[in-house]
């Protein structure tokens, strides 16, 4: 048991680290009145969104908690135990997101000001704020799961904790995704296209909403998404671990120990992040990420050998860690301006927007190959070594869950680099809006450019880990229900499979439609302000930023209800008909959702960078017809990569968790 207290100690360490960084960043210079005012508007906008979101969330959580209490009929525990787990999960995930948003909206302006001194200073502030988010997520996640395990003792009940996290993730990712793209597309359509003013121009009424969106979608949304993957993979592995304790006595606590180890490695990785003489921010971040991963790959071997007596689960874990790296690299390949795929899209833009779109869609589809094969390979390897421990399939399934845990073990630092992106993006925006001069603007933009690459890799990683986590949840589902087979020959399973395959299409369509509608509202409002508020274009009058923020907020929260309800109700309704159908449903959603998510994320990322490639002066540069064609692709890609694609990460995990938590209803 002592080792469990060690785990709790490590998770507290992560939280203390986050707290120290939080205080440090808060103490940094936030510049003059102008920069402070801009930062405050962004901060207030982000907080307004959170508060409004919390109101709706509260209703949702009360309803779900009541249902959980009502269906909780397990006589071995006191009634309401799973309800309490659920509430705690929602609270912890919400807390992590709140901390992340607070620090991101503090760090953006401080990054801009720190860039006055040097690139390295700017990098330090932006990345530090990322570590606050990263460490809060892993600290709270691990702490929550470990405490509940100590208290309840049976990992199965803790799934409700994961469900709480899923609920927050749903609202943060889907709502946040709609918010950010409604603001972005709306701001661009009127500002750039109609009025011809640059990105982040303070005369654009939607520009603050756009910057708020970066925080809402990319910080809070991404954080909640990965918080969910993190805790879900831990719980799934623990539940499966219970089933193999005779052959592997430490199987239940091994996931917790690996997670704790991962936090330590991440903290050491964080220490490695600093720009060298060359001053490359990208190299600095890579040093941290790969340093942590290599460290983890070395240390965990010894730990697993000591705990289990052999290295089988170590190889299972490595399969997950390796799969994550491969998916990240493949994302980088398909979305980098320096590689052939993106340049081919740019080439295709020469013959107009239609060929740009066809080319981008084709690229996204073909880019699914490596991630799918990586997940298959990770699954196969993890299963092979896992089953060697127990000489049975159940050990292999545990191995798959350990692969997911392995992939997510260094989340503390990978998430830090993800959250770094929007902070740098915001810093560049504030530098422009406050007119901090070309030197600082250039530095913040170079920080931002690195952020784009880390964001792309981070997206690939988020999708891959969601898929592996969902796979672990699926396997757990099959074991917890006591189903010996989920047989596709059975027509109920096949029907489930079809409906499961259908869900990601519905989900994507609804979220894309939501962005379209919300962006339209935004366009109308921005046009109205330009028309009715005299002197905006001359910079004499201030636009009504708040009104735009409100529009994004309300649209996002209103439009996310239907997809959310569908995602939650489908497994429940199908479960009331047939448990077999639910099995098919989970598998169908997992496969199609994973494919669509990779497709959409990579198409979107590639379109974005094809446009940037042309803006760098290639193929006619900015303003050419080729560039105009590329802008069309970029706009289509916005909801692809930042709304619908990421929302699918939530969907594939959420329906599994719903199926697991509402199991008492079905049997």
| Residues in region 559-588 near its own copies by CB under 8 A | 583-584, 587-588
> Does position 508 bind its own copies by CB under 8 A?
yes
Q: What are the CA-CA distances from residue 433 to residues 141, 430, 437 (Å)?
A: 37, 5, 10
> Does position 66 bind its own copies by CB under 8 A?
no
Q: At what angle do helices 353-366 and 340-348 cross, to 10 degrees?
A: 160
- How far is the C-alpha of 353 from the C-alpha of 627, rounded, in Å? 9
Size of the site for its own copies (CB under 8 A): 74
Nearer to its own copies, 127 or 599 (CB): 599
> Does position 249 bind its own copies by CB under 8 A?
no
Nearer to its own copies, 320 or 500 (CB): 500
Q: Least distance to its own copies from the beta carbon of 350, Å?
A: 10
- How far is the C-alpha of 605 from the C-alpha of 628, rounded, in Å? 17
> Does position 666 bind its own copies by CB under 8 A?
no
> Does position 157 bind its own copies by CB under 8 A?
no
- How far is the C-alpha of 335 from the C-alpha of 433, rounded, in Å? 29
CA dihedral over 41, 47, 50, 55, signed as positive or negative? negative
Q: Which stretch binds its own copies (CB under 8 A): 230-238, 274-282, 330-338, 371-379?
A: 371-379
Candidates 489, 532, 538, 667: give the one binding its own copies (CB under 8 A): 489
- How far is the C-alpha of 418 from the C-alpha of 280, rounded, in Å? 17
> Does position 67 bind its own copies by CB under 8 A?
no
CB atoms within 10 A of CB 516: 14
Q: Least distance to its own copies from the beta carbon of 531, Å?
A: 17
Q: Which stretch binds its own copies (CB under 8 A): 34-42, 110-118, 274-282, 377-385?
A: 377-385
> Does position 359 bind its own copies by CB under 8 A?
yes
Q: Least distance to its own copies from the beta carbon of 516, Å?
A: 6
SS3 622: coil
> Does position 355 bind its own copies by CB under 8 A?
yes
Candidates 120, 247, 351, 618: give the one binding its own copies (CB under 8 A): 351
> Does position 510 bind its own copies by CB under 8 A?
yes
Q: What are the CA-CA distances from residue 630 to residues 88, 302, 455, 604 (Å)?
A: 46, 51, 20, 12
> Does position 509 bind its own copies by CB under 8 A?
yes
Q: Which stretch binds its own copies (CB under 8 A): 40-48, 84-92, 279-287, 369-377?
A: 369-377
Helix (H), strand (E), coil (C) string for 286-337: HHHHHHHHHHHHHHHHHHHHHHHCCCHHHHHHHHHHHHHHHHHHHHHHHHCC
Of 281, 603, 258, residue with least CA distance to 448: 281
> Does position 331 bind its own copies by CB under 8 A?
no
Of 523, 504, 561, residue with least CA distance to 174: 561
> Does position 475 bind its own copies by CB under 8 A?
yes
Q: Which stretch binds its own copies (CB under 8 A): 94-102, 202-210, 413-421, 511-519?
A: 511-519
Q: Which stretch binds its own copies (CB under 8 A): 91-99, 443-451, 530-538, 630-638?
A: 630-638
Classify residue 660 by its DSSP letter. H
Nearer to its own copies, 297 or 629 (CB): 629
Q: Least distance to its own copies from the beta carbon of 493, Å?
A: 7
> Does position 144 bind its own copies by CB under 8 A?
no
Instruction: Output the CA angle 179-366-596, nearest 5 degrees.
Output: 35
Q: Least distance to its own copies from the beta carbon of 663, Å?
A: 16
- CA end-to-end span of the chain: 34
> Does position 486 bind its own copies by CB under 8 A?
yes
Q: Least distance to its own copies from the beta carbon of 460, Å?
A: 16
- In the region spanning residues 15 to 34, those forming contacts with its own copies, defined by CB under 8 A, are none
Nearer to its own copies, 94 or 186 (CB): 186
Cα 267 from chain centroid? 20
Q: Which stretch binds its own copies (CB under 8 A): 13-21, 102-110, 305-313, 488-496?
A: 488-496
Contact 548, 536 (CB under 8 A): no
- In the region spanning residues 389 to 408, those forming contacts with its own copies, defined by CB under 8 A, are 393, 396-397, 400
- In the region spanning residues 631 to 660, those forming contacts with its own copies, defined by CB under 8 A, are 631-632, 635-636, 639
> Does position 361 bind its own copies by CB under 8 A?
yes
Q: What are the CA-CA distances from residue 544 to residues 180, 199, 553 (Å)?
A: 18, 17, 15
Contact 504, 265 (CB under 8 A): no
- In the region spanning residues 581 to 620, those forming contacts with its own copies, defined by CB under 8 A, are 583-584, 587-588, 591-592, 594-595, 599
Candidates 107, 208, 404, 515: give the one binding its own copies (CB under 8 A): 515
Tell me the CB-side half-sphere exposure of residue 331, using CA atoms within 13 A: 29
In terms of Cβ atoms closer than 10 Å to its own Cβ (0-12, 13-18, 19+), residue 93 is buried
Contact 630, 610 (CB under 8 A): yes
Q: Least distance to its own copies from the beta carbon of 630, Å?
A: 11
> Does position 498 bind its own copies by CB under 8 A?
yes
Candidates 68, 462, 499, 657: give the one binding its own copies (CB under 8 A): 499
Q: Least distance to its own copies from the beta carbon of 181, Å?
A: 10
Q: Which stretch binds its own copies (CB under 8 A): 12-20, 333-341, 378-386, 446-454?
A: 378-386
- 541-576 per-residue burial string, b: 16 or more CB within 10 A, e: under 16: eebbbebbbbbbbebbbebbeebbeebbebbbebbe
Of 180, 168, 211, 43, residue with least CA distance to 518: 180
Nearer to its own copies, 103 or 497 (CB): 497
Classify residue 350 by its DSSP letter. G
> Does position 375 bind its own copies by CB under 8 A?
yes
Candidates 45, 395, 501, 571: give the one binding its own copies (CB under 8 A): 501
Nearer to its own copies, 90 or 473 (CB): 473
């Amino acid at each position: 048991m002592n080792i469990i207290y060690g785990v709790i100690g490590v998770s507290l360490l992560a939280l203390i680290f986050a707290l120290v960084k939080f205080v440090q960043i808060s103490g940094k210079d936030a510049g003059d009145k102008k920069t402070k005012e801009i930062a405050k508007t962004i901060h207030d906008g982000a907080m307004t969104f959170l508060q409004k979101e919390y109101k709706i969330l509260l209703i949702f959580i009360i309803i779900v908690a009541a249902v959980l209490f009502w269906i909780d009929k397990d006589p071995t525990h006191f009634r309401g135990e799973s309800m309490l787990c659920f509430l705690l999960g929602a609270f912890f995930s919400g807390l992590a997101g709140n901390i992340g948003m607070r620090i991101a909206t503090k760090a953006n302006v401080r990054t801009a000001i720190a860039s006055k001194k040097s690139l390295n200073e700017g990098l330090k502030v932006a990345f530090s704020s990322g570590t606050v988010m990263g460490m809060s997520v892993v600290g709270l996640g691990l702490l929550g799961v470990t405490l509940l395990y100590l208290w309840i003792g049976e990992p199965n009940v803790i799934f409700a904790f994961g469900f709480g996290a899923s609920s927050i993730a749903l609202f943060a990712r889907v709502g946040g995704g709609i918010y950010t793209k409604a603001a972005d597309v709306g701001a661009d359509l009127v500002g750039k296209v109609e009025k011809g003013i640059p990105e982040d121009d303070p005369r654009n009424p939607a520009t603050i909403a756009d910057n708020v969106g970066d925080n809402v979608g990319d910080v809070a949304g991404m954080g909640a998404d990965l918080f969910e993957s993190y805790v879900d993979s831990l719980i799934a592995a623990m539940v499966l671990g219970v089933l193999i304790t005779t052959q592997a006595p430490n199987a239940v606590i091994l996931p917790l120990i690996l997670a704790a180890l991962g936090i330590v490695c991440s903290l050491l990785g964080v220490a490695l992040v600093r720009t060298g003489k060359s001053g490359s921010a990208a190299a600095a971040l890579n040093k941290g990420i790969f340093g942590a991963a290599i460290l983890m790959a070395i240390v965990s071997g010894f730990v697993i050998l000591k705990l289990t007596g052999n290295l089988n689960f170590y190889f299972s874990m490595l399969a997950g860690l390796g799969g994550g790296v491969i998916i990240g690299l493949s994302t980088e390949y398909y979305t980098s301006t320096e590689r052939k795929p993106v340049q081919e899209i740019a080439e295709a833009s020469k013959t107009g927007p239609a060929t740009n779109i066809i080319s981008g869609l084709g690229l996204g589809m073909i880019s699914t190959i490596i991630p799918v094969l990586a997940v298959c390979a990770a699954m196969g390897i993890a299963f092979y070594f896992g089953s060697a421990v127990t000489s049975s399939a159940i050990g292999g399934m545990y191995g798959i869950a350990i692969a997911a845990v392995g992939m997510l073990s260094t989340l503390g630092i990978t998430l830090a680099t993800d959250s770094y992106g929007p902070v740098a993006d915001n810093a560049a925006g504030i530098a422009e809006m406050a007119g901090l001069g070309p030197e600082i603007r250039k530095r913040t933009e170079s920080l931002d450019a690195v952020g784009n690459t880390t964001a792309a890799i981070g997206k690939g990683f988020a999708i891959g880990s969601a898929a592996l986590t969902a796979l672990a949840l699926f396997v757990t589902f099959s074991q917890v229900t006591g189903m010996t087979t989920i047989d596709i020959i059975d027509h109920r399973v096949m029907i489930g499979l079809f409906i499961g395959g259908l869900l990601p299409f519905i989900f994507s369509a609804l979220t894309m439609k939501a962005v379209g509608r919300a962006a339209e509202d935004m366009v109308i409002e921005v046009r109205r302000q330009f028309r009715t508020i005299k002197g905006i274009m001359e910079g004499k009058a201030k636009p009504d930023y708040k009104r735009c923020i409100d529009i994004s907020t309300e649209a996002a929260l209103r439009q996310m209800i239907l997809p959310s309800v569908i995602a939650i109700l489908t497994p429940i309704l199908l479960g009331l008909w047939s448990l077999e159908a639910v099995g098919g449903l989970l598998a169908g959603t997992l496969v199609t959702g994973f494919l669509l998510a990779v497709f959409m994320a990579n198409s979107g990322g590639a379109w974005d960078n094809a446009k940037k490639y042309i803006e760098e002066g290639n193929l006619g540069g900015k303003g050419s017809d080729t560039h105009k064609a590329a802008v069309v692709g970029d706009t289509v890609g916005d909801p692809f990569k930042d709304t619908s694609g990421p929302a699918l990460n939530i969907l594939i995990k959420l329906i599994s968790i719903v199926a697991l938590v509402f199991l008492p209803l079905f049997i």
